[in-house]
Structure 1
Amino acid sequence: MSDTTGGSRLGEHAVYPGTFDPFTPGHLDIVERARHLFARITVLVAVNGDKHPAGTEAERATQLRRKLPAHWDDVSVTAWRGLTVAFCRQHGAGVIIRGVRNRADMSHECHLASMNEDLGITTLLLPARPRLVAISSTVVRGLDS
């Protein structure tokens, strides 16, 4: 399977889950890069019991859709309550995309990736670009306050 740039794609469908509270330039960069690796990306606006986002997952999904370029017809946004692996199985996604900014992220994401692999879904970790490493949803929320 080839993309429009002549390179090969890793697969048909990947899922990029997160709380996205808010969706940052770093998140947008991960989606942009993943678009070139997979034929279709679903940005999965999920619930995380450890976080208390400003809006519901449906509200965050609506806001996030507005931030994506209109011509990205290979990217969809969906709100989801449940395990990401369950969404992947139900919707034929073979890969979970996760971004990592630092060692703490890497340690956490490797642990999750291992569990997801045991459940039959591979995780692809994409490192943040150096100019975006310091940007997090927490930092962006602090700037908006």
Structure 2
Amino acid sequence: MSIAIYPGSFDPVTFGHLDIAERGAKVFDKVIIAVMVNPHKNPLFTIDERKELLREAVKHLPNVEVDSFTGLLVDYAREQNAGVIIKGLRAVSDFESELQMASLNRHMYEAAETLFIPTNHNYSYLSSSIVKEIARHGGPVADLVPKHVEAAMREKYSK
């Protein structure tokens, strides 16, 4: 069975994230979307909230699971017996840092390859940070995130 890990903060999940998850699900028997704790980010949603928003967003993909982890991605990949780490690329600027991480991950866990999936051109401008900034100021995000995510963001920012 081919198992792939798709890691990220997913704060919040966007249509760009879903594009990568859907495409990964066509290639691998099982894709685990792994929500990671990133101490360098100040998340809008808790880990549990992000997992629930993701589960709702990928419920149409039977071979996709949602989980979370702390620590090193390679340790999590090893625990899950994953042979592939999926990384989405929006632009050339993403490639340099992602290539560096892929090389380090391969050094620490040779059994896992990193697969770069370029995002659909419709989402190449999209990031969770931009979506949060737009929503924070009451701007339209319906074309950027699933409906349930938009509602959750509106609720968070109304408090």
> Would you call these one fold, judging by a TM-score over 0.5?
yes
**Residue in 2 that maps onto 1:56:** 46
**Residue in 1 that maps onto 2:20:** 30
Measured in 2, the distance between the counterparts of 1:94 and 1:123 equals 9
Structure 1 letter corresponding to 2:88: G
Structure 1 runs, 4 residues or longer, greater than 2 Å off: none
Contact kept in structure 2, 1:101 and 1:127, CA below 8 Å: yes
| 1:128 has 2:140 as partner | no
Q: How far off its partner does 1:108 sit?
A: 0.6
Contact kept in structure 2, 1:96 and 1:124, CA below 8 Å: yes
| 1:12 has 2:6 as partner | no
Q: What's the CA shift string for 1:66-108, capped at 9, x where partnerless?
A: 112x331100000211211111111110110000111221001
Measured in 1, the distance between the counterparts of 2:49 and 2:69 equals 12
Quick one: percent identity of the two aligned structures?
Answer: 38
Number of paired residues? 134
**Residue in 2 that maps onto 1:44:** 34
| 1:137 has 2:128 as partner | yes
Determine helix, strand or coil for the equivalent of 1:23: coil
Measured in 2, the distance between the counterparts of 1:34 and 1:46 equals 18
**Residue in 2 that maps onto 1:105:** 94
Q: TM-score, normalised by structure 2?
A: 0.80
Structure 2 letter corresponding to 1:42: I
Measured in 2, the distance between the counterparts of 1:44 and 1:96 equals 10
Structure 2 gaps of 5+ residues are 137-159
Q: TM-score, normalised by structure 1?
A: 0.88
Structure 1 gaps of 5+ residues are 1-10
Determine helix, strand or coil for the equivalent of 2:50: helix
Contact kept in structure 2, 1:17 and 1:46, CA below 8 Å: yes
Higher percent of residues as helix:
2
Measured in 2, the distance between the counterparts of 1:91 and 1:62 equals 20
**Residue in 2 that maps onto 1:91:** 80
Higher percent of residues as strand:
1
Q: How far off its partner does 1:38 sit?
A: 0.5
